[in-house]
Amino acid sequence: MERVVVIGTGQGGFQLAASLRQEGFTGRITLIGEEPGLPYQRPPLSKDYLKDGNDARLLLRPPDFYEQQRIEIIGSTRVTGIDRTTMEVETGDGARIAYDHLVLATGSRNRIPPIAGLDRPEVLALRTLSDARVLRDRVEHMRRVVVIGGGFIGLEFAAVARARGIEVAIVEGADRLMGRAVAPMTSRHFLDVHRGWGSSVHLGQFAEAVTDAEGSLAVRLRNGSEVSGDTIVLAAGVIANDAIAKEAGLATDDGIVVDDLLRSSDPNISALGDCCRFVEPVSGLVARLESVQAATDHARTIAARLVGQPKPYAAVPWFWSNQGDRKLQIAGYAPDADDWHVAEADGKLTVFCFAGDRLASVETVGNAGAHMAARRIFANAGRVPRKLLETADYDLNAVMA
């Protein structure tokens, strides 16, 4: 194989290129991305970057890394189509670039909910560095912000805003925070935390319209009430960027469908990270994960295969979210959890999430030791019976012994 082309210069695209070189791939590597500049990390955009504005710290590698590793980056360029017959991608400016293997690392984009009046300059989103720069500038003058969406990104931003003395209202359509991703007890914990910091949290309330209101804006909720702010931050989840894959005839299903080697329905095309749907190996459930861990481990799996050492994807899912001084960490994947065991001591929270008789995930707040232990347990045992936890009195170190 001579030439690997990657669409997307984000977390996964970068890792694929770096891992290919680590694995000894000597051919040509070309990353094409619509964002300008070098690959950077997104997680700090809703956390430290809003405080320090330090662009250099975001970079995944310094500029000379790409020269030394012979990784070609074509930035500010959108890929508009894939020709699977000639094995070429077409860019917005009409160029055609040939590939021997193509990797789709196109990530996801913000979901725009059907809310009237969103097309105002005071309505901001947070996905890219360019979004974060705008938001950071605005944070300096913000007095009251309405955050639409009580997921990770909305809550991380809310914590930063509150710490700066900005009034914060959080509007969430579901009846609990981070409802898609965490246990009810963890949602409750963060509800108390955010309210304790002084944010007003409106649960079970869909935003319906943004309107002008006496020198500021108002968000009208489904129950008819209004919350006002000079800025609206839209953080209502994301959608997989799978359109070019779909148009090229690849199998998609809210994400590009891949097998356990991260191959799409075309063996010359792989997909990774936020844009792909795969069988999560610990739970056995089909998943689309939006995490640095998934993008990175997917990339490593693809790189190993491309140099002739295929190994089925077997990584344990994990995730973190920093909200103010609270660090939430999740090991495992538990959308099907139906029972929970909570352990709370010394300001540390640990929630064991069970799906039937199986430990599906462990959520911790301020308990990095338990998080790391849980990851090791999943890595060693894969399927962890509930009984094992009960016998060990929920002591993760005893489980490992």
Cβ neighbours of 59 (radius 10 Å): 15
CA gap 178, 189 in Å, rounded? 11
Place of tokens 């929270």: 349
Of the pair 237, 385, the CB lying nearest ligand FAD is at 237
Stretch that binds ligand FAD, among 29-37, 183-191, 211-219, 279-287 (CB under 6 A): 29-37
Residue span binding ligand FAD (CB under 6 A) among the ranges 248-256, 278-286, 319-327, 364-372: 319-327
| C-alpha span between 258 and 53 (Å, rounded) | 37
10 binds ligand FAD (CB under 6 A): yes
Q: Rule CB under 6 A: choose which of 205, 283, 291, 350 binds ligand FAD.
A: 291
Roughly what angle, to the nearest 10 degrees, separates helices 152-163 and 184-196?
A: 20
Give CA separation, 314 vs 190, 194, 272, 275, in Å: 31, 36, 14, 18
Selected from 73, 107, 271, 396, the binder of ligand FAD by CB under 6 A is 107
Nearest distance from C-beta of residue 76 to ligand FAD, angstroms: 9
DSSP sequence for 320-333: EEEETTEEEEEEE-
Among 25, 197, 320, 394, binds ligand FAD (CB under 6 A): 320
Asked if 319 touches ligand FAD (CB under 6 A), the answer is yes
Count Cβ atoms below 10 Å from residue 121 Cβ, excluding itself.
8
In angstroms, the CA 157 to CA 145 distance is: 10
- Residues 369-398 within binding reach of ligand FAD (CB under 6 A): none
Residue 365 as a binder of ligand FAD (CB under 6 A): the answer is no
Asked if residue 51 lies in contact with residue 143, where contact means CB atoms within 8 angstroms, the answer is: no
CB 128 to ligand FAD: min, Å:
7
Please answer whether residues 372 and 345 qualify as being in contact, where contact means their C-beta atoms are separated by less than 8 angstroms. Answer: no
Among 244, 262, 316, 370, binds ligand FAD (CB under 6 A): 244
Name which of residues 48 to 67 contact ligand FAD (CB under 6 A): none
Q: Least Å distance between CB 331 and ligand FAD? A: 12
β-partners of residue 116 are: 209
When binding is defined by CB under 6 A, the residue of 20, 38, 97, 153 that contacts ligand FAD is 153
Q: How many residues bind ligand FAD (CB under 6 A)?
A: 36
- Least distance from C-beta 92 to ligand FAD, angstroms? 8
- Report 85-104 residues binding ligand FAD (CB under 6 A): none
Residue nearest to ligand FAD (CB): 10
Q: How far is the CB of 319 from ligand FAD (least distance, A)?
A: 5
The CB-of-103 to ligand FAD minimum distance in angstroms stands at 10
At 161, list the tokens.
């805003």
Contact at 8 Å (CB) between 158 and 199? yes
Exposure of 301 by Cβ count < 10 A (0-12 exposed, 13-18 middle, 19+ buried)?
buried
C-beta atoms surrounding 332 within 10 Å = 26
Q: Which residues would be at the binding site for ligand FAD (CB under 6 A)? A: 7-13, 32-35, 42-43, 45-46, 78-79, 105-107, 126-127, 153, 241, 244, 273-275, 290-293, 295, 319-321
